[in-house]
Amino acid sequence: MHDRIREALYTKVSEEERVLLHGQIANLLEEKHKDDIEPILFELAHHFAQAKNEEKTLDYSLRAGKKAQLAYANDQAIRFYNQAKTILERQRYYHNRRVCGPVREPGIGL
């Protein structure tokens, strides 16, 4: 029952508000547990991802992936590593676009 209520409320919140709320939750958790972040790595990776904070999502996803891997929670490890991989690929793409400029098809616009 609790999950249904949460889902119903969650769908009534706009995407923009959800991003902000997840960011606030992530920052509060990070601050509260700054002396021992290990127990909440999964939650931080989740909330920073939902907050669209790529830098912190990458950091916590890699750490959460390693924690899950060491606990033989392979599905979770794969999910966190894939989340990190997606960010790294996107960063590489944007870095290459900045350095090399737009990619042109051979023979077009020459």
106 assigned to some structural domain = no
Give the model's pLDDT for residue 101.
Answer: 62
Other Cβ atoms within 10 Å of 87 Cβ, number = 18
Residue with tokens 């490890």: 77
Report the distance separating Cα 46 and Cα 52, nearest Å.
10
Assess contact for 58 and 80: CB atoms under 8 A: no
Q: What is the pLDDT of residues 37-79, one digit of tens each?
A: 999 999 999 999 999 999 999 999 999 999 999 999 999 999 9
Q: Is the pTM of this model over 0.95?
A: no
For 90-106, how does the pLDDT look when each residue is reduced to its tens digit (9 = 90+)? 988 777 777 666 545 44
The tally of domains found in the chain comes to 1
- Whether residue 109 is contained in a domain is answered as no
What pLDDT does 20 receive?
Answer: 97
- Is residue 52 in some structural domain? yes
In a domain, 110, yes or no: no
